[in-house]
Structure 1
Amino acid sequence: MVIVYHQNNKVVQVQYDGKHIDFEELNIIQALFKIADSYSDQLIIWCHIDLKANLNLSKLQEIFHHNKIMASYNVSESSFLSEAIGYVDGAPFVKINKEVCYPAWQMSNSVGGIHASVLLSFKNKIKESDDFDYFLNSLAKLAMPAGLLCYSESAFLNDFSDKKENNKQSLFVLFRFVKQHYKVSWIFLLLLNLFLYQKKIAFLPFITSLFYRRRAINIDFLNNIEVQSSKKVLEKGTVDVIIPTIGRKKYLYDVLKDLAKQTHLPKKVIVVEQNPNHESTSELDYISDETWPFTIKHIFTHQAGACNARNLALAEVDSEWVFLNDDDNRFGIDLIEKTLENCVKYGSAVSSNFYPRIDEKRKVDHVNQVDFFGSGNSFITSNLLDKVSFRMGFEFGYGEDSDFGMQIRNSGVDVLYFPSPEITHLSAPTGGFRTKPVLAWQNDVVQPKPSPTIMLFNLLHKTPEQINGYKTTLFFKFYKVQTIKNPIRYYSNFQKQWVQSLYWANELKNKK
């Protein structure tokens, strides 16, 4: 391990395995690449000299448990890029929970690290910046989609408090970053949003950004770096499977048969059957009529709703892992075995597998951090279940799985996407006795826009800038498909719908 201490973008001290080594007085970025050339099999840590006494050396191997990890921790209350980046980027990686290990591409020069092999793979891919923070943010933003796992990691520092510096936040830097890392249309939206919500006229930063070219790298540039995590995520290897179902007897039978053929059999399958008809009884006769190579826990309820059904099932889990399945999935015989192997390889406690519909082609072929979570195609360790649940405010709406994923991330656990093995989602027709729920707002004179559950997700998990950025894009997208074409009338109506959505989202917050 090589530790580089720096100040004012210059190297002031270098240690290798605890011993001081000679170095040239170089710019910190040049020094990192030179050190990576000389120590190509080593982890490279950077640390501001003022934080040297606080560096938690005992945690570094735990943080970097395999070679495709980049992590840092920002001691400042403000990020290098201003909060206005939320007008452009709506992903969950922007609102960082600094109390835990949290997936984030926004890196800091305060303290952090990366393996030399990753740095060398990045060498000469883009023009180096003189600003260390800009370089780190650019590297992470470009490399995260390519499979570099990037984190804000609070464990870097020991006994740290009050040493917070305020970074200078420049709109010139922000516009440049957006122009170099996003589609060009986003600089126009950034300009508009800054004016709408902050009354800032940023023409000069906007114009200046036009002289920068977009940065791009080959999505496969990290493929030669081997991954084998030292983090232990599997001991017993026991798996429970949960399946909520309603009116899909035949499809559920196929799912159970796929589970019965697994090379790594589940210990228990928990089926929650729903039928809102209070005169009804279970139609799943094959659960008791056939012999299965696992225990089936069958719960029958007249209360419809996926959130309630999944929570009932999760309460019955007692294995080390749980597979969140659906009643219209199909998968190969090695799904559980291969997924657990992937989790061990990456030290991942949560995975969401590729989940195509029939004939859907896979677009991403490598493991990476994702902004979604699938409630029908995911594996999680059961020790997370005392921290997360399906929030009932999302019942019969959209976003319950995304909210569940955000609860996981905010508990300090990342969600990784595995391109294989895949789980095919048949998107089967709904059962004949499903009833359309009566939503509290469906008879309102002014219908909420967006859906209150979408607004609820935004309120719970996004920054004010992200919410306002979403509002602007929704305004333009919705204009194309609604009937009011008079711009003034449309704007007035949209504002009323937005307020109505906010009202109902706040009502849903407290729903049990």
Structure 2
Amino acid sequence: MIVLRHEKGKVSEGNHAGENVIEVLYKTAKKNPAEPIIIIKNKLDASEFIDAIGQNPSERSLISNYNPLNDGLGYVEDSPFINVSNSVKYPTWIKGSNAIYIHSSLVNKISHQLPAGNDLLYWVNSVARLLQSKGVLCYQIPMMHQDERLLTTKLYQFVKQHYKRRWTFFLLACHLIYEKRFPVYAFAKAQFYKRRNLEFDQREQNDLSSFILREKPKEILNYDVIIPTMGRPKYLYDVLNDLSDQTILPVSVIIIEQNENPSSTSQLSYLKDESWPFAIIHNFIHQTGACNARNMAIDLSAAPWVLFFDDDVNVSKDLSNNISNFIKSTHSRAVTFPCLQEGEEEKQKGYFQWAFFGSGCSIVHRDIVNCCKFDPALEHGYGEDVDYGMQIRNSGFDIIYAPEVQIRHLKAPSGGFRSEFKFPWQDDTIQPKPSPHIMYFRKKSYTQQQLLGYKLVLALKLFSNSRNKNPWKFIRKFKKQWESSAKYASRLIQTE
């Protein structure tokens, strides 16, 4: 492992002292293509950072110390990678420059495409922003805390080079509306920069044997399956038969059957009438709601892994084997796979850090279900799966999307959780916008700038589709709708 120490953008010691640190990084990586490299600020303890990332971090990872970078990014990026926790290892492309881990092989893939420049903070964030979606796993570690921000001119430059041009106009509007400032010089200067892109062959990741992380699996795939169901006995029967054919059988299949009619009886007689190659744990309850059902099933599970399933899916007999191989190769603790409907094809090639979570097509480790529960405040509403994903990240874990491990979603025409649930706001004259469940989740998980950016995006969308083209009347109405949503969202918080 090679250590490059820097101060104010220059190498601070060794044969290259006084030279541009990024240029030296390029030279060093070219001469030592198999070596990991640590770039660390002068006088900081490199061994402390090395201990934190482990002895064998992935060649396809980019790790730094904690640094929030710039709050203004929240206006333009609506993702879970902006509101970074400073207490756990957190998956995000946002980087600090006090301490950076990058492998020489990764540097060599981009050095001929990306000019060195003289701003290490801008360079490392640019690399991470461009490569995260191409399968490079990016993290911050809660150490060597830093508060080095992109200046306003650099912020606009960054937005212009890494997002579509229209987002620079949007950022300017947000600064004017929400911060009462008009950085027109930074905006105008940014327009002269070209958008960046890096050619990076993501298909190379299909050779998972090259992916090595510090944490090695301690057990073979030993898993329970949890399935909430309501009114779909035939579809569930087919799911159980698919699970019976698996190369690696589950230990238990936990079924939470729901029917809100207190005089109803179970429709799943085949659970007892037929023989199954795994244990069946069946609870029949008269309370509806996917959050409650999944939490109940989680509490009944005991295996090291929990597979979240829907009751109307179809899978090949190799699903469990494919999941096992993926976990062993990547050492992931949470994996989501595509759940494709008839006629859909997965276009993504190679795994990457996922901004979402599929509550019917994911597998998670026991360490996660021990500390994460589906939020009952989101019952019968929207966003419980995305919220669960945020809980996973805030607990120090990552979610990896595995496009090669696929499930077929049959989309049953009846049953499930389609029964109408009447919310307190449904009869209001002024209907809340957005849904109070969405407002609740966004206030809980996103930054203030992300919430305000979303507010402006929503207003523009609603105005473009509105029959009322009087902007002043629309603004007055939208303000009332937003306030109504915030009011009901606060009540959801009280019932959490």
TM-score for both structures, normalised by structure 2: 0.96
Q: Deviations over 1:24-80 (max 9, x none)?
A: 642110111111112111110111013137734333325x53211110013x6xx33
Cross-structure match for 2:347: 363
The residue aligned with 1:58 is 51
Give runs of aligned pairs for residues 236-247 of structure 1, distance below 5 A.
236-247=220-231
Whether contact under 8 Å (2:202, 2:349) holds in the other structure is no
SS at structure 2 position matched to 1:70: strand
CA contact (8 A) 1:271 1:313 kept: yes
Instruction: Count how many residue pairs are aligned between Structure 1 and Structure 2.
Output: 493
Question: Does 1:73 find its partner at 2:65?
Answer: yes
SS of the residue corresponding to residue 393 of structure 1 reads helix
Superposition map of 1:149-188 within 5 A: 149-154=137-142, 157=143, 166-167=147-148, 169-188=150-169
Q: Secondary structure at the match of 1:447?
A: coil
**How far apart, in 1, do the equivalents of 2:147 and 2:220 lie?**
47
- Asked if 1:463 is matched to 2:455, the reply is no
Which structure 2 segments of 5+ residues have no match?
none
Paired residue for 2:410? Answer: 426
Cα shift readout 1:175-226 (whole Å, capped 9, x = no counterpart): 1000000011101100101100000101111111110000012352672783
Q: Is the 8 A contact 1:146 1:222 kept in 2?
A: no
Q: How does 1:12-411 map to 2 (within 5 A)?
A: 12-13=12-13, 22-23=15-16, 25-52=18-45, 55-61=48-54, 65-74=57-66, 79-80=68-69, 82-154=70-142, 157=143, 166-167=147-148, 169-220=150-201, 223=204, 226-411=210-395
Contact 1:247-1:433 within 8 A present in 2 as well: no
Q: Tell me if the contact between 1:149 and 1:368 (Cα under 8 Å) persists in the aligned partners.
A: yes
Could you tell me how far apart the structure 2 residues matched to 1:434 and 1:29 are? Answer: 55
For the residues of structure 1 that align with 2:371 and 2:201, how far apart are their CA atoms?
Answer: 35
From 469, 486, 492, give the equivalent of 1:502.
Answer: 486
SS at match of 2:100: strand
Distance 1:372 1:384 in 2: 16
Q: 1:229·1:344 contact (CA, 8 Å) conserved in 2?
A: no
SS at structure 2 position matched to 1:493: helix
Match of 2:3 in 1: 3
Preserved contact between residue 227 and residue 346 of structure 1 (Cα < 8 Å): yes
Could you tell me which residue of structure 1 aligns to residue 419 of structure 2?
435
CA distance in 1, matches of 2:46, 2:36: 20
Answer whether contact 2:202 2:350 (CA < 8 A) is retained. Answer: no
Q: 1:238 to 1:166 in 2, by over 3 A?
A: closer
Report if aligned partners of 1:240, 1:321 keep a CA contact under 8 Å in 2.
yes
Q: Distance in 2 between matches of 1:279 and 1:432?
A: 19
CA–CA distance in structure 2, aligned partners of residues 56 and 128 of structure 1: 24
| Contact map agreement 1:121 1:221 (CA 8 A) in 2 | no
The change in CA–CA distance for 1:221 and 1:343 in structure 2 (over 3 A counts) is closer
* Equivalent pair of 1:101/1:413 in contact (CA under 8 Å): yes
SS class of match (1:480): helix
Q: Which amino acid aligns with 1:130?
A: N
Supply the distance in 1 between the matched residues of 2:202 and 2:217 (Cα, whole angstroms). Answer: 28
CA distance in 2, matches of 1:433, 1:145: 33
Instruction: State the alpha-carbon separation in 2 of the partners of residues 509 and 28 from structure 1.
Output: 48
Please state how far the C-alpha of 1:92 moved relative to its aligned partner.
Answer: 0.5
- Counterpart residue type for residue 510 of structure 1: Q
Match of 1:17 in 2: none
Following TM superposition, by how much is the alpha carbon of 1:364 offset from its aligned partner in structure 2, in angstroms? 1.4
Gaps of 5+ in 1: 15-21
Residue identity in the other structure for 2:98: S
Change (3 A) 1:219 1:442: farther
* CA gap 1:6/1:266 in 2 versus in 1, 3 angstroms: same
Give the letter for the 2:412 counterpart. Answer: A
| Distance in 2 (alpha carbons) for counterparts of 1:222 and 1:128 | 26
Give how far 1:446 is off: 1.3
Cα pair 2:377 2:492 within 8 Å, conserved: yes
CA distance in 2, matches of 1:153, 1:144: 16
Identity among equivalent positions (%) equals 37
1:86-123 CA-partner distances (Å, limit 9, x unpaired): 10001000110011010111111101101111111112
- In structure 2, the residue corresponding to 1:51 is in which secondary structure? coil
Matched to 1:388, the amino acid is: C
Matches of 2:112 and 2:133 in 1, distance apart? Answer: 19
Tell me: CA distance 1:53–1:481, structure 2 relative to 1, closer, same or farther (3 Å).
Answer: closer
Deviations 1:447-485 (A, max 9, x none): 110001111110011000000000011111122334433
For the aligned residues, what is the CA RMSD? 1.8
Whether the 8 Å CA contact 2:4–2:38 is kept in 1: the answer is yes
1:237 to 1:450, Cα distance in 2 relative to 1, 3 A:
same
Amino acid at match of 2:264: S
Verify the 8 A CA contact 2:65 2:146 in the aligned structure 1: no
Task: Determine helix, strand or coil for the equivalent of 2:72.
Answer: helix
CA distance in 1, matches of 2:231, 2:245: 24
